[in-house]
Amino acid sequence: MRVELRLFATLRDSLPPENRGVERLELTEDSTVDDVINQLQLPRDQIAVIMINGKKVALDTVLKDNDRLGIFPPVGGG
């Protein structure tokens, strides 16, 4: 299945700069958010918010085909 991964702020350093934080991933069925983090070796201590299709989810959430997965480090403002 295919998933669109979107990384933000400092997490973008895990992808080539020209990607602008976006990577289309080919994953095996039943892959979880945690699997993606392992596969890309994302820095776990920098992960604060995870969203699938704009809704917050936990690490063990199973991904589905065409999901949009967003991962954020701690961010704030106002």
Partner 1 sequence: MKIYRVNLTKGEVKTEDVPEKYAALGGRGLTSQIIADEVNPTCNPIGPNNKLVVAPGLLSGTMAPSSGRLSVGTKSPLTGGIKESNSGGTVSQKLAKLGIKAIILEGQAPDDKFYFLKVTKDGVDLEPADDLVGKGNYDVMAELQDEYGDDSCVMSIGQAGEYRLQSASIAVTDPEGRPTRHCGRGGTGAVMGSKGVKAVVIDDTDAPGVTLADKDRFKTAARDFSKILLGHPVCGEGLPAYGTAVLVNILNEAGGLPTKNFSRGRFEGVEKISGETMAETIEARGGKTTHACHPGCVMRCSQIYHDKDGEYLTGGFEYETIWGFGANAEIDDLDAIATMDRLCDDIGIDTIEMCGTIGVAMEAGIIEFGDAEGAIGLLKEVKEGTPLGRIIGSGAGFTGKTFGVTRVPVVKNQTIPAYDPRAVKGVGVTYATSTMGADHTAGYAVTANILDVGGTVNPLGKEGQVDLSRDLQIATAAVDSTGLCLFVAFAVLDEEEALPKVVEMLNAQYGLELTVEDVPKLGMSILKAEREFNIKAGFSSADDRLPEFFETEECPPHNTKFDITPEELDEVYNFSMKSITSSR
Q: Which residues are near partner 1 by CB under 8 A?
A: 6, 8-10, 12, 20-21, 48-49, 51, 53-56, 70, 72-78
Q: List the one residue out of 46, 31, 45, 76 whose CA is nearest residue 5.
A: 31
Q: Which is nearer to partner 1, 30 or 48 (CB)?
A: 48
What is the smallest separation between the CB atom of 9 and partner 1, expressed in angstroms? 6
Tokens 């990577």 correspond to what residue? 23
Q: What CA–CA distance (Å, rounded) separates 42 from 75?
A: 17
Q: Which is nearer to partner 1, 24 or 28 (CB)?
A: 24
